[in-house]
Structure 1
Amino acid sequence: MNFITDYKLPLGHWMELLVDWLTIHAAVLFDTISIVLETVIMSLVDVFKWMPPALPIAITAALAWYLHRKVSLVVFIVAALLLILNLGYWQEMLETFVLVFSATVISVIVGVPIGIMAAHRPWLYTVLRPILDLMQTVPTFVYLIPTLVLFGLGIVPGLISTIIFSIAAPIRLTYLGVTRVPEELVEAGKAFGASRMKLLFKVELPAAMPSIMAGITQCIMLSLSMVVIAALVGADGLGKPVVRALNTVNISQGFEAGLAIVLVAIILDRLCKTPNQSSEG
Structure 2
Amino acid sequence: MRIGYYIEKLINWLSFQGEGFFDAVRVVVEAVVNSVEWLLLLPPFYVLILLIAFLAWKRSGWGLTILTLTGLSLIWGMGYWTQTMATLALILSSAFIALLIGIPLGIWAAKNAFAGKLIRPVLDLMQTLPAFVYLIPAVLFFGLGKVPGAFATVIFSMPPAVRLTTLGLKQVPRDIVEATRSFGATSKQLLFKVELPLALPTILAGVNQTMMMALSMVVISAMIAAGGLGEVVLKGITQLKIGTGFEGGIAVVILAVILDRITQSFGLKKEIKV
TM-score w.r.t. structure 1 length?
0.92
Q: CA deviation at 1:275?
A: 6.1
Which shifted more, 57-66 or 121-130?
57-66
* CA displacement 1:43-85 (0-9 Å, x = unmatched): 22122222100121121122122223x1222111111111111
* CA displacement 1:165-211 (0-9 Å, x = unmatched): 11000000000000111111111211222111111111111111111
Q: Counterpart of 2:40? A: 48
Select 2:30's aligned residue among 20, 32, 38.
38
Q: Counterpart of 1:91? A: 82
Q: Is the 8 A contact 2:29 2:147 kept in 1?
A: yes
What is the SS of the residue equivalent to 2:185?
A: coil
1:14 aligned onto 2:3: no
1:224-243 matches, within 5 Å, as 224-243=215-234
4+ runs deviating over 4 angstroms: none
CA distance in 2, matches of 1:273, 1:40: 25
Assess, with a 3 A threshold, how the Cα gap between structure 1 residues 106 and 12 changes in structure 2: closer, same or farther.
Answer: same
Q: Counterpart of 2:242? A: 251
Q: CA deviation at 1:105?
A: 0.5
Aligned partner letter, 1:28: G
1:27 aligned onto 2:9: no
Q: Is the 8 A contact 2:200 2:267 kept in 1?
A: no
Select 1:189's aligned residue among 175, 180, 200.
180
What is the SS of the residue equivalent to 2:44?
A: coil
Select 1:134's aligned residue among 121, 125, 130.
125
1:1-281 matches, within 5 Å, as 9-68=1-60, 70-274=61-265, 277=268
CA distance in 1, matches of 2:64, 2:225: 34
Assess, with a 3 A threshold, how the Cα gap between structure 1 residues 137 and 42 changes in structure 2: closer, same or farther.
Answer: same
What is the SS of the residue equivalent to 1:273?
A: helix
TM-score w.r.t. structure 2 length?
0.95
* CA displacement 1:198-231 (0-9 Å, x = unmatched): 1111111111111101100000000001122100
CA distance in 1, matches of 2:121, 2:27: 32
Aligned partner letter, 2:52: T
CA distance in 1, matches of 2:15, 2:120: 28
Aligned partner letter, 1:221: M
- Structure showing greater radius of gyration is 1
Assess, with a 3 A threshold, how the Cα gap between structure 1 residues 204 and 276 changes in structure 2: closer, same or farther.
Answer: closer
Aligned-CA RMSD value: 1.3
Give the paired residue count: 269
Percent of counterpart pairs with the same letter?
42
CA distance in 2, matches of 1:100, 1:35: 18
Aligned partner letter, 1:102: S
Q: CA deviation at 1:25?
A: 1.7
Which shifted more, 267-276 or 230-239?
267-276
What is the SS of the residue equivalent to 2:224?
A: coil
What is the SS of the residue equivalent to 2:69?
A: helix
Assess, with a 3 A threshold, how the Cα gap between structure 1 residues 160 and 119 changes in structure 2: closer, same or farther.
Answer: same
Q: Is the 8 A contact 2:201 2:267 kept in 1?
A: no
Which shifted more, 257-266 or 26-35?
26-35
CA distance in 1, matches of 2:2, 2:62: 59
What is the SS of the residue equivalent to 2:227?
A: coil
CA distance in 2, matches of 1:276, 1:13: 44
